[in-house]
């Protein structure tokens, strides 16, 4: 069952340009969000039109009203509590003064972005067949025209009228009883809605699909686990491809000039026992570049062949046109869960560079083609980084001003993997083993808390979170800011050289993007596991973050 309710109020008009109608009727006025507007999202930084702020997924904003000098004057503008318990992973969209956000498990809210007032709420009742490995997470929405798009935990894709929250169409993408789900924010490209399926821990066979935004009709499909006759099928033995995993649970990127979409692919199945699936297991733990119109594979690069460590490569591909070692390069920047920071040529997938940004023990280096030379741990031996990775799905940022890539990292963190024989049972966990975190030795050197430290110094940290700045030219750290606890937060940078991020300890930080110096922080009281955004209404810049189950928005005092 799905439900929709409209919430009206007699006060709280959201901005001058949103028109009197919103206050009179209690409903938002929605501008036509064309494909061209999304393509040129950087030119309207007052909005936040896609999950990552734009197709290049840089999470960089041209807004600069909040600066390094005045960020200390940020104050709370409004707060919206979520009625469902649990950390909230959604990234909001902001369109011309209206905010759209998902809350757990599969609700959509339309808000006045100036005051936090709720215009309407849509609720999807998730099927009892739904199975998700890692929490009832939904990471957000896509918008096109006057329609919003949401994936659901029970494997459905829903289109909503952005003006009223009523359902336009609702289709089944995959069978939830087999472990399929949709937890990513969809991506709109041209007149299509693109999604990938989750469920890698349940022995699914993953895929990516595009749907007509107007009707929900499927346009194309790409199997992330190739079957007989498909390129890459030869990398699977013993029929392992049938339940090969390869889930996609984080939003992709898009290069309109090349007409390529870039997707990070998750773990193979079973996770922990590669002996049951000999071969490289394409296209798990890879980035695939797909033609946006047809879904045809153009190139791939595999980060961790025959992965036995659960190093899902679902991180957001960051696209940047840079001078790499003196050569103009259409680059893809990727800090991977396996502990390496990669620079790839996004036109053809050519490996340019791979450099560890945390301690790495599962490999000793790369061969001439960029393939990792693996050194798997012996039974009972520590794996570096541990299975949560050097980073994970947390959204990074790239600033064209500083030329640096910013990543939320886990330092000094290892685990011990154990593999077991497992038999596939539909809808049940297909892990094939387990892992245990390595307990630090008493008296071992710990992290320097809340401090910015010199380049590439992760050896003095034990199981701690850090925000790090990486130089794509060298692969090395430029600076490190250490948190009080591990961090699962995304990152935002701005044209005033500010960096916003959070941590599991509940602090929301503003750092100097050039040095990592802490400039401001607020204690919000809940784990931060989403990416901050920034937007402007009537010339006033706002910054929003979700802490625990509350959406919190700041702006400068006296503006």
Q: What share of the chain is helix, strand, coil (3-state, %, to 5)?
A: 5, 40, 55
Which member of 154, 255, 271, 310 is catalytic? 310
Consecutive H or E run containing 23: helix 20-25
Q: Quickly list H helices, 281-382.
A: none
Whole-angstrom distance, CA of residue 71 vs CA of residue 132: 39
C-alpha to C-alpha distance for 192 and 297, rounded to whole angstroms: 18
Helix, strand, or coil (residue 284): coil
In the DSSP assignment, the letter for residue 91 is B
Rounded distance, CA 389 to CA 414, Å? 9
The bridge status of strand 167-172 relative to strand 340-345 is unpaired
73 catalytically annotated: no
Report which of 290, 302, 294, 180 is spatially closest to residue 232, judged by C-alpha positions: 302
> What residues have CB less than 8 Å from 62, skipping those under 6 apart?
42, 45, 494, 495
d(CA 199, CA 272): 15
Close Cβ partners of 68 (under 8 Å, ≥ 6 residues apart): 496, 497, 498, 512, 519
- Other CB atoms within 10 A of residue 332 CB: 25
Q: By three-state DSSP, how is residue 24 classified?
A: helix
Gap between the Cα atoms of 15 and 542, Å rounded: 13
* Structure-token pair, residue 432: 């094939």
Question: How far is it, in rounded angstroms, from Cα 425 to Cα 423?
Answer: 6
Pairing of strands 60-61, 492-494: parallel
Q: Within 10 A of 40 (CB to CB), how many other CB atoms are there?
A: 14
Q: Which positions are annotated as active-site residues?
A: 310
């Amino acid at each position: 069952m799905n439900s929709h309710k409209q919430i009206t109020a007699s006060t709280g008009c959201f901005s001058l340009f949103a028109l009197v109608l919103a206050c009179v009727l209690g409903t938002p006025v929605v501008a036509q969000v064309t494909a061209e507007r999304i393509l040129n999202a950087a030119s309207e930084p007052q909005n936040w039109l896609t999950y990552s702020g734009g197709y290049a997924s840089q999470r960089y904003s041209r807004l600069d009203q909040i600066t390094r000098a005045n960020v200390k004057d940020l104050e709370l503008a409004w707060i919206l509590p979520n009625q469902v318990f649990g950390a909230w992973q959604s990234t909001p969209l902001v369109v011309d003064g209206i905010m759209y956000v998902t809350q757990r498990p599969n609700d959509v809210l339309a808000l006045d972005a100036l005051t936090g007032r709720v215009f309407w709420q849509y609720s999807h009742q998730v099927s009892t067949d739904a199975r998700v490995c890692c929490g009832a997470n939904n990471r957000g929405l896509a918008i096109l025209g006057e329609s919003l798009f949401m994936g659901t935990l029970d494997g459905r894709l829903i289109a909503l009228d952005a003006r009223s929250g009523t359902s336009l169409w609702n289709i089944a993408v995959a069978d939830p009883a087999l472990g399929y789900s949709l937890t990513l924010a969809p991506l709109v490209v041209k007149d299509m809605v693109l999604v990938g399926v989750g469920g890698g821990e349940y022995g699914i066979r993953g895929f990516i699909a595009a749907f007509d935004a107007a009707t929900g009709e499927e346009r194309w499909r790409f199997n992330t686990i190739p079957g007989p006759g498909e390129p890459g099928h030869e990398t699977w033995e013993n029929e392992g491809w049938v339940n090969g995993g390869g889930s996609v649970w984080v939003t992709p990127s898009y290069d309109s000039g090349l007409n390529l979409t870039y997707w990070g692919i998750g773990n193979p199945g079973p996770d922990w026992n590669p002996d049951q699936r000999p071969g490289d297991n394409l296209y798990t733990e890879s980035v695939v570049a797909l033609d946006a119109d047809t879904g045809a594979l153009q190139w791939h690069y595999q980060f961790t062949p025959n992965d036995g460590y659960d190093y899902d490569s679902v991180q957001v591909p960051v696209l940047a046109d840079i001078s790499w070692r003196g050569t103009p390069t259409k680059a893809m920047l990727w800090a991977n869960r396996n502990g390496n920071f990669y620079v790839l040529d996004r036109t053809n997938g050519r490996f340019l560079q791979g450099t560890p940004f945390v301690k790495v023990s599962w490999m000793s280096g790369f061969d001439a083609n960029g393939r990792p030379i693996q050194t798997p741990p012996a039974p009972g031996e520590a794996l570096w980084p541990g299975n949560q990775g050097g980073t994970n799905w947390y959204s990074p940022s790239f600033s064209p001003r500083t030329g640096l890539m910013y990543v939320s990292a886990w330092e000094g963190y290892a685990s011990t993997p154990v593999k077991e024989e497992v038999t596939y049972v539909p809808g049940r966990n297909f892990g094939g083993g387990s892992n245990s975190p390595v307990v630090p030795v008493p008296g071992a050197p710990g992290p320097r808390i809340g401090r910015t430290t010199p380049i590439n110094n992760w050896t003095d940290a034990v199981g701690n979170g850090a925000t790090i700045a990486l130089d794509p030219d060298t692969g090395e750290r430029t600076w490190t800011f250490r948190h009080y606890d591990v961090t699962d937060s995304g990152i935002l940078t701005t044209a005033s050289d500010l960096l916003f991020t959070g941590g599991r300890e509940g602090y929301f930080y503003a750092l100097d993007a050039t040095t990592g110096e802490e400039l401001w922080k607020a204690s919000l009281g809940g784990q931060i596991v989403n990416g901050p955004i920034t937007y402007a209404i009537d010339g006033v810049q706002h910054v929003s973050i979700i802490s625990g189950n509350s959406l919190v928005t700041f702006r400068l005092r006296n503006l």
